Amino acid sequence: MVSSSHEALHRIFQKDPALLTRALQQVLNVPFPEPREFAAMNVDLTEVEPVERRVDTLVRVETDQGEYLLVVESQGRKDEAKRGSWPYYLSYLYEKYGCEPVLIVITQNSVTAAWAAEPIHRGLPGRPSMTVRPLVLGPDNVPLIADAREAERDVPLAVLSAMTHGKGPRVAAILESLVAALRTIDAESAAAFVQFVDSCLDDPRAKEIWRDLMAAVQYFWRHPLAEQVREEGREEGREEGREEGREEGREQGRLEDRAEMTLRILEWRGIPVPDFVRERVQGCTDLQQLEVWAQRAVHAADAVELFSDERRPH
């Protein structure tokens, strides 16, 4: 089953494709040409008959030196099956689109990074017919950004830093610097980056630090995660006897905020939102259900997947 961490690690590049080419140039020292234009592409590589195959993220990049396809694979652990899939992906994409494919693997684990970077040889020993050398982004080469000014200079790279270094000893400084930097960008992008980081933080201590920071920063008041954390704190200290009308007003505001955020996440990811989906989300009066839909909006392949737990008619 695909994890939230898996999804967030590669979907940050769907949110900001330019981060991908900067990472190639600045982190991996790959002389990649300066991009002119980006285009998200269909990740489905299934042919007419065979087994379904999908890459995680696929971006077409136009440069003065030609077009490239950037193939991003999020990898949580070693998976020898990928050493068969990755060469297939590159060959299929080159044959289909006629431009050079570039394989980039992103991981939070140093052992997985070392494994993924090993060349894949196909053919005779010493005389392979095909060699694939993945480019790997991980905790050993993504810069550790623990300074607020540095984070402000490149916020998406600071987000990637937090996502890949979330288990390290300097996680508190990394997250504090990122929160300061997120204040300098638009609220919609900040909310998306908040969700990516939250999905990638598996370490309990790092998760607690991040939730505490979210509770303290009013800038993210529209984000479901921040609202949830602050609500937990309000519940502990809420005075008895607060006027029922005011409470109903606050409840309605929370419903509207979460509904709006769910739809916005789908929209910035380029996923069409049919009218019946929009009406259902905006008309929902169950705060917990809206929380679930907001989380699903980050990973869903189409808007209808928000309701994936419901039985569909045969």
CA nearest to 197, candidates 234, 304, 181, 72: 181
Q: Is the pLDDT of residue 297 over 50?
A: yes
pLDDT, residue 142, reads 92
pLDDT, residue 1, reads 34
- Which SS3 state, helix, strand or coil, does residue 302 take? coil
Contact between residue 190 and residue 181 where contact means Cβ atoms under 8 Å apart? no
Among the listed ranges 210-214, 228-232, 248-252, which one has the minimum average pLDDT value?
228-232
pLDDT, residue 2, reads 38
pLDDT, residue 152, reads 92
pLDDT, residue 8, reads 67
pLDDT, residue 115, reads 96
Contact between residue 45 and residue 91 where contact means Cβ atoms under 8 Å apart? no
Among the listed ranges 44-53, 79-88, 112-121, 142-151, which one has the minimum average pLDDT value?
44-53
CA nearest to 82, candidates 60, 105, 59: 105
Q: Calculate the average pLDDT of the chain.
A: 79
pLDDT band at 48 (very low <50, low <70, confident <90, very high): very low
Q: Is the pLDDT of residue 248 over 70?
A: no
* Tokens 């939102």 sit on residue: 273
Q: Is the pLDDT of residue 67 over 90?
A: yes
Q: How many residues does the chain have?
A: 314
Q: Is the pLDDT of residue 112 over 90?
A: yes
pLDDT, residue 246, reads 53
pLDDT band at 244 (very low <50, low <70, confident <90, very high): low
Tokens representing 170 are 């300097």
Average pLDDT score over residue span 79-108: 92
Return d(Cα 57, Cα 2) in angstroms, integer. 14
Among the listed ranges 51-65, 73-87, 102-116, which one has the minimum average pLDDT value?
51-65
Tokens representing 11 are 């979907």
Average pLDDT score over residue span 135-139: 93
pLDDT in tens, 162-204: 989 887 788 888 998 998 888 888 877 888 888 888 888 888 8
Bridge partner residues of 40 (DSSP): 59
Mention every residue, 6+ apart, whose C-beta is less than 8 A from residue 114.
none
Amino acid, res. 293: W
Q: What is the pTM of this model?
A: 0.63
* Tokens 């991996």 sit on residue: 28
pLDDT in tens, 11-46: 777 778 888 788 888 888 888 888 888 777 666 555
* Tokens 């949830």 sit on residue: 228
Regarding predicted confidence, which is higher, 188 or 106? 106
